[in-house]
Structure 1
Amino acid sequence: MATPSPAVARWELRLRIAQLRKDSQLGDAEVMDAVGISRPYWSQVFSGTRMLTVDKLRALAAAYGCDADEQDELVQLREIATKERGWWMKHPALIRPEMQQLYGLEHGARSIRCYNSLLIPGLLQCEGYARTIIAANTMIRPFEVEQHLAVRMQRQSRLTDDDPLHLTAMVSEAALIQQTGGPDVLREQLLHLIRLAEQHPETIEYRIIPFTAAEGTALGGSTFHLLDFSSTKLPTLGWSETPTRAGVVEDPTEVSSLAYAYAQAMTQTLSAADSLSLIKEKVRE
């Protein structure tokens, strides 16, 4: 079971209520009468902007035919969603809403597959490398750089906590050569990758697309993640980034396209063992 995350709990609760509504033979008016809520309240529940009280949630679940065990599951999700407060929510002036959403989902994910073409993924960046990238972001003011760095380092705790995130990171060989921050910072970053992989071989895996890959540039400079969760009620989610926009991808067709692209790119990579060997070779060079 992955670390409880209020963001994931809220998302799962919304999806499960929506599925109950879809599977039910009851009309909305009947359910609203049974629960004792107005239509605006009803709309807010399904848009995710309002949370049912415990009593009303049980009444809704009962109206849809849920047994006591399922009602308890829904109430437990509600408790996590409302009583827990993720660390990412404590920095509203620093972290944009879409990034808060990512960090919340990331915190509760079981595994992440990420594709980064020219940069080492944020979850794997050492301090010097991360500081260089953050400082180069024109949307971040100089006095905020260290704050953003602290946030990035805190994100990485999911790689080493009691129930660590499983991470598969796919990057181009170019990311191992581009001297982001200068040669000393790059060396520090490559050594950091090696330490992480050797200390956590069961949960951290690198897959490098070598320069010799015939179709290695097929995805260009894309950056995207695929997040999977422990709950069987939750589908795979996507996350996509461009220089000006980033956000969660929920649409099943789009997520399927990202998963297909990732699988195709994987055919161009070195094995996990050979990828780690290549990183070590770059350090020696």
Structure 2
Amino acid sequence: MAPLSPTVARWELMLRIKRRRSEFDVSASVIAKELGFTLSYWSKVEKERILAEDKLKRLMSLLEFDPAERDEMLRLREIAKQRGWWSSYAGLLSDEVSRLYGLEYGAHNIRSYASVLIPGLLQTEDYARAVIANDTARVRQVEIDRWVELRMRRQQRLTGAEPLYFTALVGEAALTQRTGGTEVLKGQLRHLVSIVQELRDSVDIRVIPFDAPGGALLAGASFHLLGFENMLLPDVGWTETLVHLGVIEDAEPVRHLSTMYANTIADHALPRDDSITLIERKLGAL
């Protein structure tokens, strides 16, 4: 079971309201009037605010939620009011990236694809520092230590009593590019082998070799698919480019990424044991 995340709790709460609105065909203007809001304020509530308890109770009454679901929604509201650990880094993070990390924290599983870099959840501290220090478009030099600390904190979801189930498809280029120098890369490759051995039940790493027929289909791309235990919550995507990080919630592009992951990319990846063998061979050649 994934830990409780204020971000996921707020998202689930608003999804329940949105679905009931659609089911009963209740317009935003009717809700705004019932709650004493302007339409623009209700729009903000839908996107980022948390309803006051009395307003939520009025809305649940309007939308005829049954008593059991009302209790659950009030519980979700209490969780949503809390501050996640990532809030301590609010000065570094945009609202969108804070949301990404909140969703990540509450996810049950993540499927990740990275062509030229090791995914952040699998990076060593030295490797992360080298990557972050080169991200001059988003990171100031005085902030590097905090960004590295943040990345290491995110990795705690891979361990403990409720580990994240994480599958990473990694291009062979990521095992070859000497990010941070030879010694940093050596440490990173050793870490990949170690983490798969230690967390074999929850972490899987598959390598797409240079000679894979479709290995260059998404050269330079990176994306992630986050899944949740609660069946009410759909998968969401998370894309990364040099200039953009963002959550994708729309069903069609998420389905496209999922299909691409399963049918286009995963088909070209080596099996688990062969992937580890390749990583060890790369390490031995350094």
TM range, smaller chain: over 0.9
Question: SS of the residue aligned with 2:211?
Answer: coil
User: Deviation at 1:113?
Assistant: 0.5
The letter of the residue matching 1:169 is A
Q: What is the match of residue 186 of structure 1?
A: 185
Q: What is the distance in 2 between the residues matched to 1:121 and 1:237?
A: 17
Q: How far off is 1:30 after superposition?
A: 5.6
Q: What amino acid maps onto 1:89 in structure 2?
A: S
Correspondences of 1:2-81 after superposition (within 5 Å): 2-26=2-26, 35-40=34-39, 43-44=42-43, 47-81=46-80
Distance 1:85 1:218, change over 3 A: same
Alignment partner, residue 84 of structure 2: 86
Q: Give unpaired runs (5+ residues) of structure 1.
A: none
CA distance in 1, matches of 2:69, 2:152: 37
The answer as to whether partners of 2:169 and 2:208 remain within 8 angstroms in 1 is yes
Measured in 2, the distance between the counterparts of 1:102 and 1:40 equals: 27
1:85 maps to a residue whose letter is R
Task: Note if contact 1:123-1:152 (Cα within 8 Å) is conserved in structure 2.
Answer: yes
Paired residue for 2:101?
Answer: 103
Q: Distance in 2 between matches of 1:215 and 1:36?
A: 54
Counterparts of 1:213 and 1:117, CA distance in 2: 13
Aligned length: 283
- Helix, strand or coil for the counterpart of 1:208? strand
Select between 111-120 and 272-281 the one with higher mean Cα deviation.
272-281
The structural deviation recorded for 1:32 is 5.4
- State the alpha-carbon separation in 1 of the partners of residues 20 and 84 from structure 2: 28
| Residue type of the alignment partner of 2:241 | T
Deviates more, 1:93-102 or 1:210-219: 93-102
Q: How far does residue 270 in structure 1 lie from its aligned partner after superposition? A: 0.5
Match of 2:152 in 1: 153
SS at match of 2:237: strand
Equivalence for 2:201: 202
State TM-score, norm by structure 1. Answer: 0.94
Aligned-pair Cα RMSD in Å: 1.7
Identical aligned residues as a percent: 43
Using the TM superposition, give the Cα deviation of residue 152 of structure 1 relative to its aligned residue in structure 2, in angstroms: 0.6
Runs of 4+ in 1 over 6 A off after TM superposition: none
Contact 2:115 2:220 in 1 (8 A): yes
Structure 1 residues 32 and 96: alpha-carbon distance in aligned structure 2, compared to 1, 3 A threshold: closer
The one-letter amino acid of 1:224's match is: F
Q: Pick closer, same or farther for the CA change 1:28–1:210 going to 2, 3 Å.
A: closer
2:210 matched residue in structure 1: 211
2:236 and 2:203 map into 1 onto residues whose CA distance is: 20
Q: Deviations over 1:35-68 (max 9, x none)?
A: 5433437623653233222232123223222111
Cα distance in 1 for partners of 2:147, 2:112 equals 21
Task: Tell me what 2:271 maps to.
Answer: 271
Separation of aligned partners in 2, 1:155 and 1:229: 17
1:90: Cα distance to partner? 1.6
Does 2:137 correspond to 1:135? no
